[in-house]
């Protein structure tokens, strides 16, 4: 029986237990494409799954990991053939479907996106769900009709994965980017990515007024809770905030005032079940609109063995930018 290496999460008496073990290919889940995984990544959501701090995993035992890039080994799907390089983001992998922290994965071909021409698998995972989500935020702001000439854009959780790539994308597109972070020591890093201003997250993380001074026309928020409420209260007339995360919390202690007095919009961003046409658009834009030198600046490479420790570190705010996992 063919086996491969995998990081397996089990539900133990004291919480989530992780172990590296040989996994049988015959035990992979249903799907019409089998992929030899070459690279993955560690997102904030992966950290929650690896540590059990939130109920991300809903099937046990589970191979965590919501992202992978790799090469098709076998396919019964008309869009893919052996040898094709592919990307997967979301669709319940690492939650209800065996995920990316393994040498092989079997998934539905409809979940896969072809690796864009000129992009390497490790670059795709340097982007990962965090960067793909950042691109979805940028596309949402553009669809809403906002442009760099309308005013500045604010990015919260700026030193994290979503924030780092959002800054690089927005700066390259010509936006004046205001980066919000709680890590003052990362100011030079954020400016290298393209941030024009740095503000302390403390300005946004405490309970605020229903309506504040107008400071920006647009925003990308990966934090939620009071931070998102304050972003909305300080958005200029006719502006919008794209919300994609919950690092501070799931709640939204806000007022209707920004919506009914300034016509502000809150744009919800979902990356997990996002339709394939929009995924393809996001990945093509990432291939052409993201500075690869800046991507390299924000990326750290780790082996699969370091994933559990990195999962804990990302929740503790100790990870800057993006982490690529070399599956090996």
One domain, residues 144 and 237 = yes
One domain, residues 321 and 260 = no
Tell me, what CATH number does 13's domain have? Answer: 3.90.180.10
Token duo for residue 250: 């799931």
Taking alpha carbons only, the member of 156, 151, 95, 106 closest to residue 4 is 106
Looking at residue 14, its pLDDT comes to 86
Range of the domain at 75: 3-115+298-326
Measured between alpha carbons, how far is 283 from 112 in angstroms, rounded to an integer?
12
One domain, residues 141 and 264 = yes
In-domain check, residue 44: yes
Residue 328, class by beta-carbon neighbours within 10 Å (0-12 exposed, 13-18 middle, 19+ buried)?
exposed
In-domain check, residue 197: yes
Taking alpha carbons only, the member of 84, 83, 140, 139 closest to residue 112 is 84
**Exposure b/e, 276-293, CB count within 10 A at least 16 = b:** eeebeebbebbbeebeee
In-domain check, residue 293: no
One domain, residues 256 and 319 = no
Strands 265-268, 197-200: pairing is unpaired
One domain, residues 178 and 70 = no
Looking at residue 13, its pLDDT comes to 86
Q: Examine the pLDDT at 1 and tell me if it is beyond 60.
A: no
Q: Examine the pLDDT at 280 and tell me if it is beyond 90.
A: yes
One domain, residues 178 and 71 = no
Looking at residue 2, its pLDDT comes to 86
One domain, residues 32 and 75 = yes
Could you give phi then psi for residue 249, rounded to 5 degrees? 160, 165
- Tracing tokens 């972070």 back to the chain, one arrives at 181
Residue range 236-257: mean pLDDT, rounded: 96
In-domain check, residue 277: no
Taking alpha carbons only, the member of 82, 139, 187 closest to residue 178 is 187
One domain, residues 157 and 192 = yes
Number of domains in the chain: 2
One domain, residues 101 and 135 = no
Taking alpha carbons only, the member of 85, 160, 154, 171 closest to residue 129 is 160
One domain, residues 149 and 43 = no
In-domain check, residue 214: yes
In-domain check, residue 162: yes
Question: For the packed helices 44-51 and 307-315, what is the interaxial angle rounded to 10 degrees?
Answer: 110
Question: Model-level pTM?
Answer: 0.93
Instruction: Choose the final residue of a domain: 268, 288, 307.
Output: 268
Taking alpha carbons only, the member of 103, 92, 20 closest to residue 309 is 20
In-domain check, residue 246: yes
* Cβ-proximal residues to 163 (8 Å cutoff; 6+ apart), any chain: 134, 155, 156, 157, 179, 181, 220, 222
Looking at residue 43, its pLDDT comes to 93
Looking at residue 274, its pLDDT comes to 95
Could you give phi then psi for residue 324, rounded to 5 degrees? -105, 130
Average pLDDT for the chain: 96
pLDDT digit string (tens) for 285-328?
A: 999 999 999 999 999 999 999 999 999 999 998 999 999 999 97
Residue range 199-216: mean pLDDT, rounded: 97
**Is the N-terminal amide bond of 202 cis, ω within 30° of 0?**
no
Token duo for residue 19: 């172990």
* Cβ-proximal residues to 145 (8 Å cutoff; 6+ apart), any chain: none
One domain, residues 134 and 111 = no
Write the Ramachandran bin of 263: left for phi over 0, alpha for psi from -120 to 50, otherwise beta. left
pLDDT digit string (tens) for 101-137?
A: 999 999 999 999 999 999 999 999 999 999 999 999 9
Taking alpha carbons only, the member of 187, 166, 186 closest to residue 177 is 166
One domain, residues 322 and 253 = no
Asked if 208 and 233 touch (Cβ cutoff 8 Å), the reply is: yes
pLDDT digit string (tens) for 49-76?
A: 999 999 999 999 999 999 999 999 999 9
Tell me, what CATH number does 230's domain have? Answer: 3.40.50.720
Could you give phi then psi for residue 56, rounded to 5 degrees? -70, -45
Residue range 135-140: mean pLDDT, rounded: 98
In-domain check, residue 210: yes
pLDDT digit string (tens) for 213-243?
A: 999 999 999 999 999 999 999 999 999 999 9
Q: Examine the pLDDT at 24 and tell me if it is beyond 60.
A: yes
């Amino acid at each position: 029986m063919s086996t491969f290496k995998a990081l397996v999460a089990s539900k133990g008496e004291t919480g989530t237990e992780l172990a590296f073990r040989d996994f049988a290919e015959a035990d992979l889940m249903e799907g019409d494409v089998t992929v030899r995984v070459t690279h993955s990544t560690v997102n904030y959501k992966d950290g929650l799954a690896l540590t059990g701090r939130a109920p991300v995993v809903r099937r046990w035992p589970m191979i965590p990991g919501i992202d992978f890039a790799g090469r098709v080994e076998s396919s019964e799907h008309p869009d893919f053939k052996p040898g094709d390089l592919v990307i997967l983001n979301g669709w319940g992998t690492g939650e209800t479907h065996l995920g990316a922290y393994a040498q092989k994965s079997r998934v539905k071909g409809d979940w896969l996106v072809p690796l864009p021409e000129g992009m390497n698998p490790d670059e795709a995972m340097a982007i990962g769900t965090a960067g793909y989500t950042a691109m979805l935020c940028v596309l949402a702001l553009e669809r809403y009709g906002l442009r760099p000439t309308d005013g500045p854009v604010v990015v919260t959780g700026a030193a994290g994965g979503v924030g780092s790539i959002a800054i690089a994308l927005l700066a390259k597109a010509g936006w004046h980017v205001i980066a919000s972070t709680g890590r003052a020591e990362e100011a030079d890093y954020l400016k290298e990515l393209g941030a024009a201003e740095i503000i302390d997250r403390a300005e946004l993380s405490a309970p605020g007024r229903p309506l504040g001074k107008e400071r920006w026309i647009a925003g990308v928020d990966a934090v939620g809770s009071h931070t998102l409420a304050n972003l909305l209260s300080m958005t200029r007339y006719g502006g919008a905030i794209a919300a994609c995360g919950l690092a501070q919390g799931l709640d939204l202690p806000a007022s209707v005032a920004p919506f009914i007095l300034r016509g502000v919009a809150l744009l919800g961003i979902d990356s997990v079940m996002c339709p394939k046409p929009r995924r393809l658009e996001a990945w093509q834009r990432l291939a052409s609109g993201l500075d690869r030198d800046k991507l390299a600046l924000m990326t750290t490479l780790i082996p699969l063995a370091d994933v559990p420790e990195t999962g804990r570190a990302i929740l503790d705010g100790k990870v800057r930018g993006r982490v690529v996992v070399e599956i090996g």
